[in-house]
């Protein structure tokens, strides 16, 4: 049999065809191209899903960027409410390499004043002391020293690094009380959101020796140093957090994964020791606790924690609203001073401090 001869011809549509071959089928080529693109898209989704399931970093960075934008907007909203009263400021006081706090006192202060140490929020993965500075200036204008501190956030630092750093900051504050205008026998630990959790934890560390032993941390403060605690919109029971659903649940669960270093945070040492609701005693100082009715954490965290404190005999000043209250008050409502309710929280804070910290004007 001789060699096969190829004969070129044309189809009715004018397409070139070689004998012994099949004509090109444009539809098949298009389908093949779409299939390859679909396969690549599926592969990309699988790679992203695998990355997100292996580390909290990408999601934590996304959440942080959202929080940072919201923090600036809140600063802008609070700033017009800062009184014109002159204040003296010590900004960026270094309590250890890489960690600082800001201090505000009434201008001309030369004597120690009752001091509010405020721990900022940010879901343990974002935030800075500057986020609460306008609020601390508002309080300082009432005759207090106020301190807003930074601390290491996740995922760069994991639990309990922040607790240890805040304890070190309190040690620095006590050691330098005179130059900071701090009355170290009348300290109020305060915080918002994740900062409220940390404030409750630092208070528990101070007043509960068994808890301090579990943490393996020697507390800087003595029970007699604590005048009161202020807690806004915080988290006090991590088991309850595990039952959350929806986008808010995803955000908190991702943040806690980044902060504790494990997806199983609710059933670990971190989850147990962060759940300060389980370590309440009657040695806890007088506490102001609040949350907005539109914030799921109010019903899941703040109200149960307030009840636990009251059951233990702790003097509690609480500020909550019915679920049907309008307007619906969001997480961190107390900083949104355009709300009448936020201004009420501010004024009740002044009254609470006057009663329990013994302000000196």
DSSP 135-191: HHHHHHTTT-EEEEE----TTTS-TTHHHHHHHHHHHHHHHTHHHHTEEEEEEEEEE
Joined together, the tokens standing for residue 291 give: 């949350």
Percent of the chain at pLDDT exceeding 70: 84
Q: Residue 242 has what pLDDT?
A: 75
Mean pLDDT of the chain: 89
Q: How many CA atoms lie within 13 A of 149 on its CB side?
A: 29
Report strand pairing: 99-106 vs 145-149: antiparallel
Lowest mean pLDDT among 15-29, 192-206, 304-318: 15-29
Lowest mean pLDDT among 150-159, 163-172, 240-249: 240-249
> Does the pLDDT value for residue 47 go beyond 50?
no
Q: Residue 361 has what pLDDT?
A: 43
Average pLDDT over residues 137-161: 97
Joined together, the tokens standing for residue 328 give: 């619906």
The Cα 166–Cα 349 span in angstroms is 23
The Cα 182–Cα 203 span in angstroms is 18
State the pLDDT confidence band at 43, using cuts at 50, 70 and 90: low
- Run of H or E including 102: strand 99-106
Dihedral of alpha carbons 33, 39, 45, 51, sign: negative
Q: Residue 267 has what pLDDT?
A: 85
State the pLDDT confidence band at 172, using cuts at 50, 70 and 90: very high
- Run of H or E including 289: strand 287-290
State the pLDDT confidence band at 115, using cuts at 50, 70 and 90: very high
Q: What is the pTM of this model?
A: 0.86
Mapping DSSP to helix (H, G, I), strand (E, B) and coil, where does residue 122 land? coil
Average pLDDT over residues 69-94: 96
Q: Residue 359 has what pLDDT?
A: 52
> Does the pLDDT value for residue 256 go beyond 80?
yes
The Cα 300–Cα 238 span in angstroms is 10
In this structure, which long-range contacts are made by residues 68-73, counting pairs with CB atoms below 8 Å and at least 24 apart in sequence?
A: 68/126, 71/122, 71/126, 71/127, 71/128, 71/131
The Cα 94–Cα 341 span in angstroms is 35
The Cα 15–Cα 24 span in angstroms is 9
Q: How far is CA 360 from CA 18, 38, 83, 352, in A?
A: 101, 70, 18, 14
Lowest mean pLDDT among 17-26, 33-42, 133-142, 200-209: 17-26
> Does the pLDDT value for residue 248 go beyond 90?
no
Domain 86-356: state its class.
Answer: alpha beta
Q: Are 337 and 346 in contact (CB under 8 A)?
A: yes
Q: Residue 276 has what pLDDT?
A: 98
Q: How far is CA 5 from CA 2, 20, 21, in A?
A: 9, 9, 12
């Amino acid at each position: 049999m001789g060699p096969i001869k190829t004969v070129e011809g044309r189809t009715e549509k004018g397409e070139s065809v070689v004998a012994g071959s099949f004509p090109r089928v444009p539809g098949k080529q298009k389908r093949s191209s779409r299939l390859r693109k679909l396969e690549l898209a599926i592969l990309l989704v699988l790679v992203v899903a695998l990355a997100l399931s292996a580390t909290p970093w990408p999601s934590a960075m996304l959440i942080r960027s959202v929080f940072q934008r919201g923090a600036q907007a809140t600063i802008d909203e609070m700033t017009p409410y800062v009184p014109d009263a002159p204040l003296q400021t010590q900004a960026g006081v270094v309590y250890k390499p890489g960690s600082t706090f800001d201090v505000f006192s009434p201008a001309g202060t030369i004597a120690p004043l009752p001091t509010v140490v405020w721990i900022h929020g940010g879901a343990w993965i974002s935030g800075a002391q500057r986020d609460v500075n306008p609020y601390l200036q508002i309080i300082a204008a009432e005759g207090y020293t106020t301190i807003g501190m930074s601390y290491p956030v996740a995922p760069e630092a994991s639990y309990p690094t922040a607790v240890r750093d805040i304890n070190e900051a309190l040690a620095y504050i006590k050691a330098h009380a005179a130059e900071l205008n701090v009355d170290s026998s009348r300290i109020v630990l305060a915080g918002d959101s994740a900062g409220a959790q940390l404030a409750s934890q630092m208070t528990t560390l101070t007043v509960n020796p068994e808890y301090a032993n579990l943490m393996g941390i020697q507390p800087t403060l003595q029970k007699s140093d604590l005048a009161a605690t202020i807690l806004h919109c915080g988290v006090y029971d991590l088991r309850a957090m595990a039952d959350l659903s929806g986008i808010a649940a995803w955000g908190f669960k991702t943040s806690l994964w980044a902060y504790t270093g494990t997806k199983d945070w609710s059933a670990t040492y971190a989850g147990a020791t962060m759940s300060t609701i389980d370590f309440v005693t009657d040695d806890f100082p007088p506490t102001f606790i609040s949350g907005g009715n539109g914030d799921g954490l109010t019903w899941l965290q703040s109200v149960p924690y307030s009840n636990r404190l009251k059951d233990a005999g702790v003097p509690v000043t609480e500020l909550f609203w019915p679920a049907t209250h309008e307007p619906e008050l969001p997480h961190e409502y107390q900083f949104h001073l355009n709300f009448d309710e936020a201004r009420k929280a501010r004024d009740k804070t002044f009254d609470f401090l006057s009663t329990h910290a013994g302000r000196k004007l």
